[in-house]
Amino acid sequence: MATVLGFYNYWVVIVLMMAGLYILISRYNLIKKMIGLSIFQTSIFYLYISIGKVENGTAPILNDDPATIYSNPLPHVLILTAIVVGVATTAVALALSVRIYENYGTIEEDEIRALNAGEHEL
C-alpha cells in the first residue's frame, strides 16, 4: 500500500498515458484522436515534473540561505520546450483536420477510408 500511495504521481502518469493511447487507437474521429494524443503527451510532462522534485526542496529561486534545498529546475525547462512542441503538433493536426473536412466532408476515419477506396487508383 505504501508503494502504491508513495508513488501516486507515477500512477497518474501511467493511467493518463494508457487512457491517451486507448483513445488514440479506439476512436475514428480525428479530433478525438488528437485529444487522445494530447493526453498521452501530457502524461509525459507529468513524469518529467515528478523527476524534478527533490524531497523538502523549495522553488529553485536563489536566496541567501546556504542551507536551502532546491528542487531540480532542469526538467521544468525541458518540459517547457516539450509543451511548446505539443502545442505545435496539436495546431498542425487541427489545421489538417480542417483541410480534411473541407475535402472529404467528414472527419471520421472509417468514412474517409471508404471514400478513398471508392476512388479510381491512377
Partner 1 sequence: MMDQLPALQVMLPMTMAPLIVLIRNPKWSWLLATLATGAACLVSCLLLMQVIDGSVIRYAIGGWEAPTGIEFYIDRANAGVALLVTGVSFVTLIYAYHSIQHGIDSSRHYLFYTGWLLCTTGLIGMVITGDAFNVFVFLEISSLSTYMLVAFGSDRRALVASFRYLVIGSIGASFILLGIGFLYAATGTLNMVDLAMRIPTTESPRAVLVAFSFLTVGVMIKAAVFPLHGWLLSAYHHAPIAVTAFLAGTATKVSLYILVRMFFSVFGEAYSFEQLFLNWVLLPAAIAGFLTMSLVAIYQTDLRRMLAYSSVAQIGYIIAGISLATQQGLTAAVVHMFNHGMVKAALFMAVGCILYRVGHTHIPSLQRLISRMPFTVTAFIIAGLGLIGVPLTVGFVSKFSLIQALMERGWWAAAVLILVSSVMATAYVGRVIYLLLFRESRSETAGMTGVNEAPLLMLAPLYALLALSVYFGVFGSQTLRLAAGAAQTLLGGYQ
Q: Which residues bind partner 1 (CB under 8 A)?
A: 21, 24, 30, 33, 37, 40-41, 44, 47-48, 51, 74-75, 78, 81-82, 85, 88-89, 92-93, 96-97, 99-100, 103-104, 112, 116, 119, 121-122
Widest CA span in the chain: 74
Q: Residue 12 or 65: which CB sits closer to partner 1? A: 12
Q: Residue 65 or 119: which CB sits closer to partner 1? A: 119
DSSP string, 35-53: HHHHHHHHHHHHHHHHHH-
Whether the Cβ atoms of residue 29 and residue 109 lie closer than 8 Å to each other = yes
